[in-house]
Chains A and B, each alone.
Chain A
């Protein structure tokens, strides 16, 4: 039962994330890769800037992974998130989940990304051609 959580200013490696959950006993690995879109609500996005409350973000990421393993039955989970400047098409987040059979890997991977968006203290500032704003902050 391995958990790896990472916040990084450097590019995230799909290979590293994938390798970290490989296990001879597992028949399924589910990877979710979140990338930066070039538009949002009809406006062109030029880049994103992610800020995090690092020690708490890592703790919250770990809590999500612990639930995925101990309550939902996954074998290994890695959650990587980028911080700082992230360009269009770059990877912002990678989640890798391995389990004995595919069903749990799919379910837990979905749970991890949904929960990350709800509870992990990371904030996205979107830079458009004509300004910038913190995503989701205002009604």
Chain B
């Protein structure tokens, strides 16, 4: 079981800063599809990236439960 970190608008959609879910073996694309099924409101935001171990991940990357995974909605620093 992984504890996915959620920030900004993602934290509001999920309702928590951590989302417990099984991610072992999922690609980033599959992970995003699953997230969208659990929380259809993600379709209403401008998109989001997924970071794995504090680095932006490509859609083809495969997740393991030991990874530090984060949902990164559009950033707005500065």
Contacts and interface: CB of A to CB of B under 8 A. Distances in A.
- Do A and B belong to a common assembly? yes
Contacts of A137: 8-9, 45-46, 73-74, 76
A13 to B, nearest CB: 18
Contacts of A81: 77-78
Interface in A33-69: 34, 50-53, 55-57, 59
A139 B74 CA distance: 11
**Range of interface residues on A (Cβ < 8 Å):** 20 to 34
Listed residue (B8, B45, B46, B55) with the most chain A CB atoms within 10 angstroms of its CB: B8
Interface in B19-78: 44-46, 51, 54-56, 70, 72-78
A134 B76 contact: yes
Listed residue (A52, A59, A123) with the most chain B CB atoms within 10 angstroms of its CB: A123
B69 to A, nearest CB: 11
Interface string B1-14: 00001011101100
A131 interface: no
Contacts of B72: 53, 121
Contact of A124 (B5, B11, B77): B77
A14 interface: no
Nearest to A50: B77
Contacts of B11: 51
Interface of A: 34, 50-53, 55-57, 59, 81, 92-93, 113, 116-125, 134-139
9 contacts: A53-B54, A53-B72, A120-B75, A121-B72, A125-B8, A134-B76, A135-B76, A138-B45, A139-B46
